[in-house]
Chains A and B, each alone.
Chain A
Amino acid sequence: MKLNLKIWRQKGPKSEGKIVDYTVDHVDEDMSFLEMLDVLNQDLIVKGEDPVAFDHDCREGICGMCSMVINGRPHGPWERTTTCQLHMRAFKDGETVFIEPFRANAFPVLKDLAVDRSSFDRIIQAGGYISVNTGNAVDANSIPIDKETADTAFDAATCIGCGACVAACKNASAMLFTSAKVAHLNMLPQGEPERAKRTVQMVAQMDKEGFGACTNTGACEAECPKGISITNIARMNREYFKATITGSK
């Protein structure tokens, strides 16, 4: 099939970007979206043009690198699917497809569709860790955790940190990401020692990075490729309230 692409092209972080029209032919419906871009880039290289820069790594839906907004939706039209797992059968022959980078002040564009998401790394550095004593490895399952808590913490831990929540949010808020990390670690006994400090510091870092505030639109939850629930945001709000009331600072 043949597609008309409208792709955001931007030479560098400081340059002005614009939407450029491309036509890509011989697209197979079994190709992934990234393979379709590979085909386009091959055409561009042959023509001596600059290929479209985009992030990708594992191409099996677990690394969270492939960041692009397709027809206004982060990771495209399929629910709970990353761009690399989105297949071209989701599109019709002759369709026009908008491809843009994740847009947020805290995610500056590096080039074309590739954005700098190191603001997420700094949020993790602010409190997304636990204290573990060195020495012999402890026996597996030596800390009793009830099944429901373990499952809920695990659901939060499935966040791959792709940033689709920020890209989808009209406020470019990082509350879903941050709350998933806070929930994952705060719910488990291993995360207990830093519980209050973690919540306050991660939220402070999130604000410092220039993400917007949450207005509970739920767009993040709808677009999250891992189906992270906004119940985590309510949980983080509780944790934050508790931490600021009882905390020493």
Chain B
Amino acid sequence: MLTLAASMLLCFLLLWLLFGALSCAVYPLVRNTMRSIDPAQASVLLLGWIALPVGIAGLTCAVLYSPDVSALLVAGHCHLGSCRQHGPQSAGAILPAALLLVWTALRLCNGLRSQWLPARRLGRELAAVGRCRGDYLELDTPEAAAFTVGWWNPRVFITAGLRAACSPRELDCIVLHERGHRRRRDNVRLLVARLLGQPLPHCWSQLMLEDLKLCCEQASDQFAARAVAPEEVAAALLQVARLQGRGARPGVLAFTGSHIERRVRALLDAPASPLPGEWVFACVSAAVLFTLAIVNPLHRALEMIP
């Protein structure tokens, strides 16, 4: 029983890591497509792309270790005279499975510890000192900032400095944008994406996470632009960028490449069209077919582990 559980776990974790590395390596090829489609759909597809390795690993293991299903996919063979259906097992899997499990669990716990709890604490602290202004809480500081904190019930915070420096119309755009984040649960979306990328080196998944963040921002921009004109949201973005640029501390900030220009241009250009449903269906089908196709060779490969 222990051998079976360890083999199953090793198979799942190895596939997760392997497909995770593969998805990071292949992502630059699909990146342009992701950036050219509707950002709300792109954020869902990107999260799906990031979740694909763990999904395929889980599905493959479920098929591999389910006798009824694997009977259809694995070529019949016998071990020591026993020819009944079986999942691939190896006594040598126990130690590597335990090590990989500890590594993955530590990485996931570290991700949760460094994001989930601090955000809850920060949200509570700021909510306690913020002044309620209807849709948002105002923070009494002259710096210009607007942000959303929290996971399930995120709160919008806008500083008094930003409120004083922005026109009511710009403020409306900011509040609408942040409301978009709240409605779309963008913080949870980003947290899940970061957690799914935890077992891999951060630099591998960084590009996908940055793009996901940009997609979430653009989707919230579009959300705001549905209620007010897109030019007004773009003007509010530029105004806040100008205010925050003024407050920048030299030597502290690193130039990371501007998302503002891309967001402003996306608002002013014609809205990007979503990827046709047939394409999405074809991609999901390809992933499922790929999973089924690797079951037989994987079964043989796992049985070769001493």
**A, B: real partners:** no
Interface residues, chain B, CB within 8 Å of chain A? none
Interface residues, chain A, CB within 8 Å of chain B? none
